[in-house]
Amino acid sequence: MSRSRTMAVGRIAFFGFCAIMLVTPQSALAQNDAETHYQPDKVGKWRPGAIDMNDEAASGLTEQERSIFIQKLQKLVAIFREAKTLNPPVGVEASHGGDVDWGFPWGWEEMNPRPFWPVHGNVCIKLAPYIINTAGQPDVDEPDELWIFINELNPIFTGIRETGKEVYEDGGAETNTRHMEDELGTFFYTPKAVGVLQGRPLYECDAVVFTKIQKPSWIPVTRERFLRHAMDWAQKAAKAEQESLNESQQNLARLDKADREEAEKNAQGVGLQIKKDAAEHPGWLRFIPGEYLKALQAELASLTPQERASQAYFGDWKTSLRASGLVEPNEAGARPLVSPNPEFFNKSLPRTALQSIVIIGLRSAEEARRHPENPDPAQLRILELRDTLDWNKVMALFD
């Protein structure tokens, strides 16, 4: 019974780190499996594939738009199907699939409610290694995958999340996880380039971007914008927490004296520990929304106009000397924050125009080089594609 009161104190949303979900090649996990025996010289084949468009996506497009866009995705797939290193695909069975969507790419719709938005979708190139399984029979392992996103830059970003109680307009609330965002868009860490692919940045999230657009794909998040977002969240969290405490008090009143005293003692212990932690590292105040809001307001008031307009750098809130978790650019672990540029895509072009292509999976294939005694054929084929494919063929697809 005492757990109810304890959770009433502890269920406060907090900020933390989040990495965008990427596809991890399953066969990479098999590299060190002594029972995995690849058939690297077996000549493979391409299985039939299709580009799908569900009813929801189709409802937003004319028949002509659907046909035009699917044909463009098929041309993109053909670049890989016709690549020398995959004709034939040696040591792997190759296939592809894809989907088309007409709505807003995730994370961008809040910034630009205008009716125009380019059609976007994805294609997946799958390379499944031929193996001899544990029963000694020829088999096909889980595929390594190249994911290709069209007119959608989300995969290059790594975001921050809030976890805890989320308050809705109808007054309801529930524990949930969502990306940190305001009315202008979602907050992300600035993408970090870790390599180059034929003159194009290869980002740490294993993504490379192809586009003819010269505009930046992201804009800085200012310290004031970050703090005002945090203050808005703290106000909602404080209201939700008070409602939860009121409910807990009613539940406590129904308990006998011994159970009630135990519950109150546990809750006090949690509160004292949070205050103790917050005295050294103010970031822990986020577990006390009312105090957290006051600290954020004071932090914003202390900034000069130049500081308010400067780019926000987020660090580890558990050790930051600021309640917000913001740090100075030169502090250890500091990461600059950005949000997608709402003016990136060219709205004068037809909605079916190809404006950006993001490919994920070219860098993770380097795992094969760490196991030269038993390399994954699928990863070897991906590395060959990366190093030998004429990527200007991808650029030629843009309108």
37-51: pLDDT as tens digits = 999 999 999 998 999
For 140-199, the pLDDT digits (tens) are: 999 999 999 999 888 888 876 544 444 444 444 444 444 688 888 889 999 999 988 888
pTM for this structure?
0.75
DSSP 214: -
Asked whether the beta carbons of 147 and 154 are under 8 A apart, the reply is no
Which residue from 237, 254, 114, 263 is spatially nearest to 176, judged by alpha carbons?
237
- Name the band, by pLDDT with cuts 50, 70 and 90, for residue 108: very low
Torsion sign, CA atoms 29, 35, 41, 44: negative
- Name the band, by pLDDT with cuts 50, 70 and 90, for residue 2: very low
**Domain chopping of the chain, boundaries:** 12-220+343-395
- The set of residues, in sequence order, having a beta carbon less than 8 Å from that of 262 and lying 6+ positions away, is 1, 2
Question: Which range has the worst mean pLDDT, 170-179, 266-275, 332-341, 382-391?
Answer: 170-179
Give the per-residue pLDDT at 13: 31
Give the per-residue pLDDT at 241: 74
How high does pLDDT run on average in the chain?
79
